[in-house]
Amino acid sequence: MLYLVPSPIGNLSDMTYRAVEVLKQVDVILCEDTRTSSVLLNHYGISKPLSPYHQHNEHKVLQHLVTQLQAGKQMAVLTDAGTPGISDPAFLLVRECVRNNIAVECLPGATAFVPALVNSGLPTNRFTFEGFLPPKKGRHTMLTKLATEERTMVMYESPMRLVKTLDEIATYFGADRQCCVSRELSKKFEENKRGTLQEVADYFREKGVKGEIVVVIAGKE
């Protein structure tokens, strides 16, 4: 069995009882960063073998992990924050497990884009999750396509690139398109800044940006 275990996006108290139980029962925990995961695991008194599993080695270790699962190992995937597979490693391993008839179970739990979408004040009945925009190749094509998207759009961005990205999106979507930038969700200094793309970009240009970022943008009317 392969378990996908969501981890808190900031507040350690957001861990579910079931997630703790699963992590205590598996044979090995695959961690995006063993140092980050150790903080969470120590907080809940979980002591299990940890194995690195991240975007730089997921292809290399794939067959070995499948072989171990076929031999009867119970494994859990634990990323630094949020649900494995959502802009984090897991897809390749899940796909290979499905191909080899290995049971996969994803536990419900934290993921950053859901609270950001819900508290944005923008329509939630229809939305599209874009993850991180392409850094260079394909970026123009993607933004041109999204400019006519009628559903609410949700995407991730780094604090270092946030203002530049908002300015760039404004040139494609129009500076008056409504948006909400959520920062440090579930943490002490959580902030949700709502307004037009221009207003929000100017706000963070003056204030500066820190923390994990989720951007929610209204669809085209």
Pick from 159, 152, 160, 173: nearest CA to 213: 159
Three-point CA angle 62, 64, 68, nearest 5°: 120
Beta bridge partners of 76: 3, 29
Evaluate whether 45 touches 117 at the Cβ level (below 8 Å).
no
pTM given for the model: 0.92
What is the separation of C-alpha 181 from the centre of its chain, rounded to a whole number of angstroms? 15
Superfamily of domain covering 2-106: Tetrapyrrole methylase, N-terminal domain (3.40.1010.10)
DSSP, collapsed to helix, strand or coil, labels residue 30 as strand
pLDDT of residue 86: 94
For 169, the token pair is 């999106």
Residue 179 near residue 197, CB atoms below 8 Å? yes
Contact 120, 218 (CB under 8 A): no
The ranges assigned to domains in the chain are 2-106, 113-217
Distance of alpha carbon 176 from alpha carbon 38, whole angstroms: 44
Which of helix, strand or coil describes residue 85? coil
What totals of helices (H) and strands (E) does the chain contain, helices first? 8, 10
pLDDT digits 0-9 by tens, 39-97: 999 999 999 999 999 999 999 999 999 999 999 999 999 999 999 999 999 999 999 99
Q: Do 2-106 and 113-217 fold alike per CATH? A: no
Output the pLDDT for position 167.
98
Query: Domain 113-217 class?
Result: alpha beta
The low-confidence residues of the chain, meaning pLDDT below 70, are none
Give the model's pLDDT for residue 110.
92
**What pLDDT score does 196 carry?**
98
- Residue 80 is given by DSSP the state S
Side-chain half-sphere exposure of 112, counting CA atoms within 13 A: 33
And the tokens for 151?
């559903």
